[in-house]
Amino acid sequence: MAAGYPPSDVSPVAATEALPDLDSLRLLVLVGDLGSIGAAAGAAGISQPSASKRIRLLEHSLGVALLDRDRQGSRLTDHGRTITDWARAVVGAAHTLVVGARALRSDARSRLATAASQTVAEYLFPHWLATLSHRDRQLSVSLRVLNSAGVIELVRDHAVELGFIESPGVPRDLASRVVAVDRLVVVVGPSHPWARRRRALVMTDLASALLVVREGGSGTRATLERAIGPLPEGHLELDSNAAVKIVVAGGRGAAVLSTLAVAGELADGRLVEVPVDADALDLRRQLRAVWPRGQRLIGAAAEFLAIT
C-alpha cells in the first residue's frame, strides 16, 4: 500500500473526517518557526488562549503530545518537531493548491479578448473599463478596433469572445444584446451653407449633397444607407471618424456621424448640427454586443457584458 493513503476499507468520507484542521497545522508550523505560542498567535492574528486551544485540539485529534508546557513557556516535543515538519509539507501543498487554482481561474476569467467598432471603442469602452477596474482588478481585457464588418468576422472566427457593433442589422449566426441606443446627426463646418439653415433636412437633401462618409463595412455608413438609400455620386469616403470630422470642419461637405463622436466638436463650435426632419429621416440605431449563436457566455465575457 502506498504511504500516506488510507487502507482500501476506509471510505473517502471517513478518511476526510479524520484529517486535522489545516489552520491548526499552519499554527503549529508558526510555533515551530517563531518559538512560542504567543508569537505564533500574533502572526496568525488570533489571541494566545485561542491558539493554545487549537493546539490542544490538534494534540487530541492526533493522539500525540506536541508541546511541553511549563512556567517558562511551551516548546515542541520531539514528536512535535517531527509532526511540525510533516505539517509544513501539508501546509505548503495546500498553498500550492490554492495558488494553482487561482492561476487556472485567472486563465479562464481574467483574459477577455474583445473587438469593437470605432464609435463604441472610442466613446463607450473607456467607461466600461473604468467601471470594471473598480469591480475586478484582475480581469484583463484586450480590445481590437475595426469597423462593424471586421468585428463580425473576428467573432465568427472565434478570434475574440465578444464583439461590439453599430451596424443596423445582426447576422443570423450571431446572438446579440443591445448595450446602448445611439443617434446619428448631420454635421457641417461653420463655413458650410447649411450651418445657418433653419429648415429641417429631408432625405432628398442628403441624397443630393456632397457627403463625407465612412468606408464600406462601417456601422455608421450602414445606418446612413438604410435611411437614405444609395449614396449620392461624388461622395468622399474615409476610414475613421476623426478623418471625416477634420474634412467636414474645414468646410468640405456634410457628414452623418454619431452624437457620441461629435459631442466635443459641437460644444466648441468646430462643427454645427443641422436640423433633420425626424419623421423623414430615421437616424437612430442600437449598439450591440455580439457572440456566436448557441454559445453561452460565461466567466469574463459574462462579467464584462453585465457592466455594459
Q: Residue 92: is its pLDDT beyond 60?
A: yes
User: Which domains, and CATH codes, for the chain?
Assistant: 12-107 (1.10.10.10), 114-292 (3.40.190.290)
- Residue whose cell numbers read 460644444: 267
pLDDT digits (tens, 9 = 90+) for 144-160: 999 999 999 999 999 99
SS3 45: coil
Condensed to tens digits (0 to 9), the pLDDT of residues 232-259 reads 888 999 989 999 999 999 999 999 999 9
Say yes or no to pLDDT of 274 above 90. Answer: yes
**Average pLDDT for 173-189:** 95
- Say if residue 19's pLDDT is above 90: no
Q: Name the strand (E) or helix (H) holding 238.
A: strand 236-238
What average pLDDT does range 161-166 have in this prediction? 96
Average pLDDT value over all residues in the chain: 86
Q: Structure pTM?
A: 0.63
Is residue 11 very low, low, confident or very high in pLDDT (cuts 50, 70, 90)?
very low
Q: Over 90: is that where the pLDDT of 187 sits?
A: yes
Identify the pLDDT of residue 261.
Answer: 93
The interaxial angle of helices 299-307 and 78-109, nearest 10 deg, is: 60
Task: Output the CA torsion 210→215→219→223 (10° steps).
Answer: 30
Nearest to 230 by CA among 202, 197, 203, 191: 203
Share of the chain above pLDDT 70, in %: 88
Residue 137, pLDDT score: 60
Neighbours of 19 (CB within 10 A): 10
Task: Indicate the pLDDT class of residue 98, thresholds 50, 70 and 90.
Answer: low
What SS3 state is found at 286? strand
Q: Give the three cell numbers for residue 117.
A: 467598432
Using one digit for the tens of pLDDT, what is the confidence trace for 104-162? 454 545 578 899 999 999 889 888 888 887 776 667 888 899 999 999 999 999 999 99
Q: What is the pLDDT of residue 130?
A: 80
Higher local confidence (pLDDT), 95 or 277: 277
Give the pLDDT of residue 6: 43
| Of 242, 251, 288, 302, residue with least CA distance to 272 | 251
Mean pLDDT of 182-209: 93
Helix count and strand count (H, E) for the chain: 13, 11
- Choice between 95 and 105, residue whose per-residue pLDDT is larger: 95
Cβ neighbours for 21, distance < 8 A, ≥ 6 positions apart: 54, 57, 58, 61
pLDDT in tens, 37-73: 888 888 888 898 998 899 999 988 898 999 888 777 7
Is it the case that residue 265 has pLDDT exceeding 80?
A: yes
Identify the DSSP state of 133. Answer: H
Between 105 and 34, the more confident residue is: 34
